[in-house]
Amino acid sequence: MRKVLLSIAFLSTMAMLQLNAGEQFAMSDADRAMYKEMLENNPADIYVEEGGEILEEQLGGEEALQKFLGVSEKELPKYIAGFPRYVKKLGNVVGIDQVLQAMEVEQGKEKTKLKSGKMFSMLAYVKSLANDEVPNIDLSEPHEKESYELGKKTFMTARGGRGLSCNSCHSADIVGQVLRTQPLPDLGEVASGATWPAYRMTKSSLRTPQRRFQGCMKNALLK
């Protein structure tokens, strides 16, 4: 079974949980108990296995994915590690989930919703194929560079009554400080984003980085 990688931030949180067991956490007692088993038994593995079965049964598996992307079996893991990326046949910078939707359309199937459990499972499986690869976003590619600059602007933009930006909690100046009992990770560290999609204990489900961004931005807009 392929496994979703655990991040250093998660390991740090484990230590914090053990040291501060009496404090109030943003999760249920059941989820806190599950945390203690995470090093050996990551709940996300269930989604990965399920996603592999769905991809094989409904879209033709890895072979169909390779054909759609125009890469070989050997090239596929490194290619996946380059997402989000510009896919010429789609004419845009897209995520893996959008590629899966395009495959469905090409095969005459109904598109799976991006926020559905089925899509999260397929995404987790495909992403797991690149577990041994380092993320390789190609900023020399004009479309990807443009998307990168838009993302950077969004990351730095203050919003809401409290004037919070992504950078407010994730600047290099405050790495390691604790927010809601969780040490803030270094997003500038190599492969820091490679652990997504990830199982979030506070939500008791697998989540994509897109959902994480949306949740943070929604909270930032609160008065």
Based on its alpha-carbon atoms, the radius of gyration of the chain, rounded to whole angstroms, reads 18
Alpha helices per DSSP H over 1-156: 8-19, 29-35, 44-54, 61-69, 76-80, 96-106, 117-128, 142-156
H/E element, 69: helix 61-69
Residues 214, 159: contact at Cβ < 8 Å? Answer: no
pLDDT for 7 equals 41
pLDDT for 5 equals 47
| Domains of the chain: total | 1
Q: Which residue has the tokens 């993320």?
A: 135
Domain that holds residue 209: 1-223
pLDDT for 170 equals 86
pLDDT for 57 equals 97
C-alpha to C-alpha distance for 203 and 110, rounded to whole angstroms: 28
The Cα angle at residue 76 between residues 73 and 80, in degrees rounded to 5: 165
Q: Phi and psi (nearest 5°) for 40?
A: -100, -30
Q: What is the pLDDT along the chain (223 residues), one digit of tens a residue?
A: 555 444 433 333 343 434 343 344 455 677 667 666 665 677 788 889 999 999 999 999 999 999 999 999 999 999 999 999 999 999 999 999 999 999 999 999 999 999 999 999 999 999 999 998 988 999 999 999 999 999 999 999 998 888 889 888 888 888 888 877 778 877 777 767 777 888 777 777 788 888 888 888 888 887 6
Token pair in block for residue 32: 């806190």
